Structure 1
Amino acid sequence: MDEDLRERLRTAAASHRPDRARMLARIERGMAEEPPARPARAPRTPMPWLRVAGATAAVCGVLTAGAFAVTSAGREEPAGGQRVAAEPASPTLATPSPGRGGALPAGKDPLWSDGSLNPNSNDYWAQSEVTVKTDRPLSALTVELRIALNGGVATTGSWRSLPEQDFAVSAREEDGFLVYRWTLKPGRSVPTGTHTFAGQYNHAEGTRDAGRDDYTARARTAAGPVSVGGDFSATR
């Protein structure tokens, strides 16, 4: 049965002749017909992530503009195109203590002075300070600080609030004293104001007797030479 069916199918397939002319006519009719109009599509809305990206870009633009404005304001230069820079303060080993003196005496010498021990001094080390106030510029100035050589005194350095290059400085033992000396160099001057000169030294452990310590300051103004001096408290 199966073999007979297959044989008949092969015979039918071999005898079949397609109507070529009819097929071409159908194709031509189909090509001549207009395709049906497609329904209009609704406009596509931006994806949510595109909206987020756009907003982020806008915010970044605003922040960048603000940062540029702040930076430009911070770099503003003074008139004339000159940039102003603050000078660093000179470091010191201990902060100067306030003097014991008062205001400059009216109608008298233009110098006022004070001798004091810095509060950072301790049982092994001390800093003695000379404070000089002047109400006019000085064309010459020599400050001398004398520390009695008692209790194992030995220098550990010195400093002054005025520019280092304006002074010749020495520290040496003279007649039983450790003498610090600051001398204004020729051609330099000391401006109006308050100025500090300090000598630092080690000493034996405990309280040191400062009853013999003293200082002097000799200066010259446009009106002539002036000088001041004083001592320190008896103990540290």
Structure 2
Amino acid sequence: MNRACARRLLAVPVLLWAALAVTPAVADSSASVTIESGDGTHVATVVAAVLGGGDGSGRGGGHHGCHHDPDHGRDRHGGHHCPPPPPPPCPPKPPKPTPTPTPTPTPSPTPTPTPPPKPTPPPSPTPPPPPPPPKPAPKPVPKPVPPPPAPPEPAPAPPPVRKAPAPAPAPPTPAPAPTPPAPVVTPPLKPVARPSYHAPSRKPAEHHVSPVTFTLMTAAPAVLAIVALRPR
């Protein structure tokens, strides 16, 4: 973007200077143009001075008003030529972009040294097994004691004396059965005459002739007769 602005700023004074050199000046005049970029970083001022009666030069500065025409027909330049104006100052170089600081790598934490494993102590020697205890002396076998004599069997107990059961009481005399009442004879019911049921028969469909149809059917023969018998 800065390069494009610089190119545009350089092209504007060149075009303006060329336009002033080609255009004839009528009187002594001076032109001043101030060019400012959009961002306010560079300002270029161009001053063009034209002196004399229209004898400006396109290559450099114009003539200071010393144009004499003694012969009234010859075009002579009697004035001195002034040096060309200094070129416009060069636009300042765009500032270099600030380099992005490289992030310093964070030092990784130093690993804690692992202590060496302790040596395993050698296993202690196994003591020899103790000697077996001496066997105990055999105990003397006791002699069997003879069983005591069995006691005499007791005498059997006398059987218990049972009392004779009392005689059962005589059954009560049954009461005489009541005589059943005489049956009531009901006369037979007389049959009642009832009408026999007949399913309702289907009524025949009734065809009704509308008055309009009846009128047309009645008047049609008369109309046909009139049409047929009319004179031709």
Fold agreement, TM-score > 0.5: no
TM-score, length of structure 2 as denominator length: 0.18
Q: Higher strand fraction: Structure 1 or Structure 2?
A: 1
TM-score, length of structure 1 as denominator length: 0.18
Larger Rg: 1 or 2? Answer: 2
Greater length-normalized contact order (CA 8 Å, ≥ 6 residues apart): 1
Q: Higher helix fraction: Structure 1 or Structure 2?
A: 1
